[in-house]
Amino acid sequence: MDWTTAKRIFRAGMLDFSRNAFVSVASILVMTVTLFVVGVTIFAGVILNATLDELRDKADINVYFTTMAPEERMLELKSSLEALPEVESVEYISRDEALAAFRERHKDDQLTLQALEELEDNPLSAVLNVRARDISQYEAIAAFLNKEQEALTAGEAPIIDKINFYNEQHRQALARLEVITDSAQRLGFVVIAILILTSIAISFNTLRLAIYSSRDEIQVMRLVGAGQFYIRAPFMVEGTLYGLISGIITLLLFYPLTWWLGGATQGFFGGVNIFGYYVSNFPLFFLIIAGTGMLLGATASFLAVRRYLKI
């Protein structure tokens, strides 16, 4: 295709777009709804994942050492935990760090800080926070720590004060969480797939109807000697334009909407402010929403014109 042909195709697409204003506006509105559903789906996915991550993150095992425990032995235990394949991470919080964190947490509570000052020594113990790669692996880590605790307390002065893990209640909560996360992901996928497919089908049909109204024109174009590509391409330009404009409208709508919902999502779902997420990932959103719209518009037009070119 040479430059002149490309220019003519683009110009014809733009002219048809502006001269069929009613059809263009109707198509854009329907496509905007489709792209809005796609966008909401992305946000729902982000919130769901963030919530599940948050819940997963809350599941951990804490090993509290005695205040007398020597640091090298605590670090020894940290290393042996890290060597376990089930362990994702082990965080060591020394007594000083625990104290600093405590002070920070209670910086507005003078009474507690004063009480702390009264004490001669740091009353807080060092802690190991252990995270498993998967929720189901906490049991194995718990078993390992049980064994370690027995070995460590045999003969010498114990270094572990307490381990908060693995009672029946904890285990049940973890198991339930695992079921919830799995079903939420599966259900989410099915709902998303149905929503997206329905919206795409509606958009496709709208563009098919828009092109159906031009079927006589397409026939005339064929009879005056226009090639299939030369007839089809302006419709594809028009469809792409519908998609681009719908995408831009959708992205503009999401700006106030996510701003309005941002605080609520952060407070309710824990951690994710969708407005912040939207703004920081805007190029990606633009690519997905406008890209989907343009692809949808071009493909739907391509397919819809095809049936009228068979003369």
Backbone angles phi, psi at 79, to 5 degrees: -65, -45
Among 10, 20, 137, 253, binds other proteins (CB under 8 A): 20
Q: In 3-state terms, what secondary structure has residue 65? A: strand
Query: Which lies closer to other proteins via its Cβ, residue 155 or residue 225?
Result: 225
Beta strands in the chain (DSSP E): 61-65, 87-93, 127-132, 160-164
- Cβ atoms of 274 and 258 within 8 Å: the answer is yes
- Cβ atoms of 212 and 304 within 8 Å: the answer is yes
Q: In 3-state terms, what secondary structure has residue 108? A: coil
Cβ of residue 221: shortest distance to other proteins, in angstroms?
7
Q: Does 221 bind other proteins (CB under 8 A)?
A: yes
Q: Does 21 bind other proteins (CB under 8 A)?
A: no
- Cβ atoms of 229 and 306 within 8 Å: the answer is no
Q: Does 287 bind other proteins (CB under 8 A)?
A: no
Question: Which residues have C-beta within 8 Å of that of residue 88, sequence separation ≥ 6?
Answer: 131, 132, 133
Among 4, 79, 114, 169, binds other proteins (CB under 8 A): 4
Query: Which lies closer to other proteins via its Cβ, residue 39 or residue 234?
Result: 234
Among 1, 111, 179, 224, binds other proteins (CB under 8 A): 224
Which of positions 227-246 make contact with other proteins (CB under 8 A)?
Answer: 227-228, 230
Q: Does 220 bind other proteins (CB under 8 A)?
A: yes
Among 1, 19, 22, 114, binds other proteins (CB under 8 A): 19
Total number of residues shown for the chain: 311
Residues lying near other proteins in the complex (CB under 8 A) are found at 4-5, 8, 15-16, 19-20, 216-217, 220-228, 230, 309-311
